[in-house]
Every structure is written in structure tokens, then in C-alpha cells.
Structure 1
């Protein structure tokens, strides 16, 4: 039997519950399928890793970090470009020189534009906690198998976006938590098979897949993406599609949670 790890990306209240501040439609059904997998096939899982998106209120991608020309806080889902900042349309309330450099760097990458999100997954908040039913399934698995789950925080540094679980979009100088997490990648490489699920497919899952392709290509053939255990932020699925197509061409497996080969 293959030595198998399950990597669950950001399956937290704010993404998975309709009352969450950044609810991903479809996440409840994703979680139901995922908890069923853990309940029925958990004895075949050697490890479970969960990543936890974790933010401060004054985050570069949260409203309160920004203001408009009248001093008003910027609304969620606002696009902030370098040009709009230079024109004075939007102004960061903190670290202005750094933010200009950050936006330049982000736009040069060409992967993401800078969007302002609703405050989500705030440290210590209910929104940052794992989905209740998923946690119950994982705890039952731990008590049944004697194997503890491993939690990995991301996004804690307020000066950069951290979609992918292995590296921030723009690493912050002298902030190790934003650099490429070689230890995490090495941990996953110790397995014969790595199952990946979580939220949202369009952002954190897709970026994590892209980071595996870029930084740990030897891991690609070991990865099985559970396509029925992830959903897109509405109208953003186009971000993930080319990444998933590239991954499939490079040998990554895509299947549904009821069709896994252990």
C-alpha cells in the first residue's frame, strides 16, 4: 500500500460556512465529501496536513489598510493597481514606499492583481478555525489511528498575499514565514502519494499546485488532486484552469474522492 498524505488547504469557517466572510459556494459539499473520505478510508492515510489561512486586521489585502482620496476605507473587492496608487486614487495608510514596491513586484509577476478582500481568517476568530465537521472527522481519525494531524499557518505576515501554501506571492525581507517552505515540501516528498483538497480551487489550491510544479517538480507525479473536494471563488475559475491543465500534462493525477487508488 502506498504511503499516503492528505493535504487539506484552508478548509476554514470563513471559506466553508455560508456565514463566513469569504464563503466559497460549493465548499459545504466539498467538506461533506472530504469528511466521508476520512471516515471511510482514513486507515489508509498515514498523515493529514491542514493549512490555515491566518490574517491580521491591518493586512495589505484588507480594507482598513487602504483609503480613498477622501480618507474613507476602501471597500472589499476593490482592485488596487500600481497606477491607481500613483495617481492618488487609493493610498495605503501604512508602509507607503514598501507598498509601491510590492505592487510593482506583484504586477511584474503577472499572476495576480491586488484585490482587497473582506476581513477573513482573523487570528483567534471563529472564521480562522477549521470547519467544524471536518475537525470532528480529523479528530476521530486521530483517535482511531493514533496519528496526530499537522497544522501549517500561512498569511500571518500582513505585508504580502500568501495564496500558495508553500510561499508568499512576494516574500518580505527577513521574514522567514514568507519564504519558500522547503521543510513542508520535503515532508510531503517523503510520501508515495499526496492527496490535495481544499479552498478555494481558483486561488490557494491552484497557486499551491503551481508552486509544486515550479519548486518541487519531483513531487508532481505523487500528487492526486481531489477535484470534487474544492470549489472556485465565483467568476475566478479561469485562474486555475491553465494551472491544472499544465499539472495534468506534467503527470499530476486528477480524480474524485471516491475513486482514489491507495
Structure 2
């Protein structure tokens, strides 16, 4: 039956990562209504949940994205096809959205060098640089320096200055438009809402993983993570998205931490390795996943 659903009327792969969407989304709703009864009739609840991490234009659009990840468009093609091929098998889909303010602690506006110039993107902020007056906190010195100290105390990675990205409500914050088309079709044909989870709204803490910020402070909000226990009830959890070495890795790691005493859950996690790409060294990134796999029993798969 799946072969009868016209994929090309839902998704135009040539426009993945592009600003323009050549497909009228109202037509997708009409198409979903046409096929809904057959898709629902064929649905077999196999307990399969899909988590897509940060599939947003700032990470996907190579030309205009603020922080484009190389090969992300190819990742999206496979993710979209996975949803299409399994539309009658997927129980639920969860999508996280990196959601920031321009005056976030990892943006240039918050830091200056000794010549009063903004700190450029991809600079690491360390306690040593601050103590040597190479980098100066310009918003709230006590809060910012305390944050850097806490990162060092808990042996976390250094604070990285990123380009302004995924600013709430901006074009770069939006889900890639071709994936959005497929998610609309899934929702309307299956009568099953796609769970969208905002993360990273705090301007005084980085939040790579979907469950908790890098550092908890009195200024960071409490995130509703009830969905983590809902998704944990699945027979199989598939995880993909961007970027493999930051938000996807930290999300998988945090899931493993939540369920560290329950391998019945961690062994259901399938990381879709060819549906996610790294910003940095891919081989080093893969080694970290292999360590998680050995420790918690997560599966590293290609689809």
C-alpha cells in the first residue's frame, strides 16, 4: 500500500535545506485525508518511537544556515524516507527544537577580548583565559564566571561561542521544510500529533542534550521531561538528527544516565548513525558512541 502514496507530492528532495518550499502544505492535508483510512487500517503498534534532534534550518541550510552541518541534507533525506517507509509502524515521533535568545551565554554579545572586541564564534571560553584577561564577561561577570567555574568543576567541555543560531521565531529556528511536509502528512494521515520539544531557552546555560542543561543554576528553568518516560516505554527507540557530536550525542548520553539502572530501556535505543553528521572529527565522535554502546547496550545502526 505504501507504494501507492505519492512521495513526490509530499517531499521534493531537491529542496531539502532550502529556503523555498515548492509544495503547498494545504495540498499535503488533502493528500493525508485521501490516504488516512488505509494508513490507519494498516497501522500495527510495534512500539516504535522516533526522536529527531534539532532538524532546523540553521543546521541544514548550507547556504543560509547560521551553523550548517556538512552532509545534514543527506541525513534529512534518510530520515524523511524512514518516516515514509514506516508510517504505518511508528507509534510516535518526537522532535526537539534548539530555541535560543540572541543574548545567550554562548553568543558573542556576552564576551569581549582585552581590546573590547566581541569574541568570535568557535572560540572556547576557559577559566584560564578569563583569569589572564584574554576574555572579559560583559553582561554579568559573577553569573558568567561562576558558570565557567561550574563547567570546569564537573569536568564538562568548555563553553563554545557559537554563531547566533536558532533564535526563537526566526527562519533558522524552523524545522526543515521538506521534513516539515512529511511530519504534517504523518500527523494528518495517522491522526497522531508529533511531539515538539523546545530546549535551550535559558540565556545563562548551554543545553546540548534534550533532558537537562550543561549546568543547573538558580537562573536555569526546570524543563518538563515527562515525555522522556513516555518514550522510554517503547519497544524500540530510534534517535537521529544534528549534530552528531553535540546535541545528538549529549541527548543519547542523557537518556543513558536517566535509565542507567535499566538496560531493558537502554538496549531499545537505536542511534541512526547515517542519519546524523558531526561538526568536528567524525571518527572521534563515533568512538564516544561505541563507549556508550559498551556501557549501556545502545545499538549503533545504519538504515
Return the match for 1:202 from 241, 245, 251.
245
Task: Look up the match of 1:260.
Answer: none
Question: Which residue in the other structure is 2:127 paired with?
Answer: 82
**What SS does structure 2 have at the residue aligned with 1:225?**
strand
Please tell me whether Structure 1 or Structure 2 has the larger radius of gyration of its CA atoms.
Answer: 2
1:137 aligned residue (168, 172, 182): 182
Does 1:214 find its partner at 2:257? yes
Q: In 2, are the aligned partners of 1:209 and 1:243 still within 8 Å (CA)? A: no
CA RMSD for the aligned pairs? 1.5
Higher relative CO (Cα under 8 Å, sequence separation at least 6) belongs to 1
TM-score by length of 1: 0.92
Q: Output the CA distance in 2 between the equivalents of 1:242 and 1:234.
A: 13
Q: 1:164 aligns with which of 199, 209, 213?
A: 209
Instruction: Provide structure 1 residue ranges, at least 5 long, that are not aligned to the other structure.
Output: 258-262
- Kept in 1, the 8 Å contact 2:204–2:220? The answer is no
Partner of 1:91 in structure 2?
136
Structure 2, unpaired ranges of 5+: 1-44
Tell me the distance in 1 between the aligned counterparts of 2:78 and 2:240. Answer: 10
Structure 2-normalised TM-score?
0.80
Distance 1:168 1:80, change over 3 A: same
**For residues 127 and 287 of structure 2, what CA distance do their matches in structure 1 show?**
25
Among candidates 35, 55, 64, match of residue 11 of structure 1: 55
Superposition deviation, residue 174 in structure 1: 5.6
- Measure the CA separation in 1 of the matches of 2:177 and 2:237: 23
Q: How many residues align?
A: 254
Structure 1 residues 200 and 135: alpha-carbon distance in aligned structure 2, compared to 1, 3 A threshold: same
